[in-house]
Amino acid sequence: MSLLLKNGRVIDPSQKIDAKLDILIEKGKIAELGNNLDNKAKKTVNLNNKIICPGFIDMHVHLREPGYEYKETIKTGTFAAAHGGFTSIVCMPNTNPVADNQAVVRFIKSRAKEEGIVNVFPIGAISKGLKGDELTEMGELLSNGAKALSDDGRCIQNADLMRRAFEYARLFNLTIISHCEDLNLSKNGMINEGFVSTKLGLIGIPKAAEEVIVARDIQLAEFTKGRLHIAHISSSYSVELVRQAKKRGVNVTAEVTPHHLILDETLIDGFDTNTKVNPPLRGEKDRIALFEGLKDRTIDCIASDHAPHSRIDKEIEYDRAAFGMVGLETSVSVILTKLVHLKKITLSEMINKFTLNPAEILNLDKGTLQKGKNADITVLDLEKESVIETSSFLSKGKNTSFSGLKVKGLPVMTIVGGEIVMDEGKIKSR
């Protein structure tokens, strides 16, 4: 069915477009952008006063399936993604079994095709079993659909193995996504090491646990001429390391989560386990540095690190609770509310961080509204207000520190391959 989106304000950083335009969609592709495209489609949707963007991409998501379906499934995760305005999500390999072989990668792609309603791109593991001992068959992972490599959730401690990973990944033009954490420095830690951890009597995780691995992996990427992406960056010095590396021409990019951008360690005072994330919420100095890095393009993307957990993983003592916070259904509205509406970043800058940049980092043919491309589209209503309520989440995970936050600006329509899969919060099958 052909579809005409009328009267919306189209913002597409990939084409430097910011104008009131109609978009004609035919056979799942962008057929035409222009004015007065009436009578060219079987269905017309009036999007007056709405923002039409390339489909948003979340490049850091944990779908949990296979192995942890009680926390999330590919079906519930993709429903949550559509609900949150994402047309494409990139899922991490720390499943059970680990996505370290072609069978698991193919299973994820097959299940996503059968039950998912957004595009799902798997990430393959760097090391077998995420054990950090032996490299995976990278070419095999790539040929079966893996878009990058990561041992997310478990940092590779062996520098020589990481060097070899960069060298082999370079042969396949694959990006290495690094979870930067020296496990000896972070051992048994729960929150950021500092005044708050001392006050609460909780074992702290020093910023150095992240920073020494960021420095190491930048050096290895520079040495091997590999492609490095820093996941969920959280410290001011880590940001500076990336900034200086970019100036030297190192092929390094970075992402930041909404919770690290908006929240800080003072929130932990009430022992709410929803605040327990890895890397931990840092101090105000670090939070400001993250924003500055986002603004000056040191940080390339905003990604949720969507980490759903069941109640049995979170509603327990702080030291025993699992790390992680959900984000697929809150990221867009939180960033609109806390950054765009407060004029800390422009709307176009935000859209770029959710579209073109992640697509380029992962070599995805996404993040644009160019004629002939797949019609993956996110529609925003900048004036619509709501309150974040976990009872409305489609994800199985309800673990968020943003519950109860009043937000202004929401995704109101998600279009995948020319099909409307979410309209005003309601999910429609493809």
Catalytic residues: 305
Rounded to the nearest angstrom, the gap between the alpha carbon of residue 242 and the centroid of all alpha carbons in its chain is 19
Question: 329, 200, 387: which is closest to 276 by C-alpha?
Answer: 200
Residue-wise burial string across 267-283, b where 16 or more C-beta atoms lie within 10 A, e elsewhere: ebeeeebbbbbbbbbbb
Question: 402, 255, 330: which is closest to 80 by C-alpha?
Answer: 330
E strands in 264-397: 301-302, 377-387
Residue with tokens 């095709």: 113
Task: Say how far apart CA 65 and CA 216 lie, in whole Å.
Answer: 31
Question: 374, 427, 424: which is closest to 55 by C-alpha?
Answer: 374
Q: Alpha helices, DSSP H only, in 84-200?
A: 102-115, 138-143, 159-171, 183-186, 195-200
Output the six-digit token pair for 52. Answer: 């039409």
Task: Say how far apart CA 61 and CA 52 lie, in whole Å.
Answer: 24
Task: Say how far apart CA 306 and CA 304 lie, in whole Å.
Answer: 5
Half-sphere exposure of 57 (CA within 13 A, CB side): 28
Please work out, in degrees rounded to the nearest 5, the angle formed at the alpha carbon of residue 125 by the alpha carbons of 236 and 255: 25
Half-sphere exposure of 377 (CA within 13 A, CB side): 34
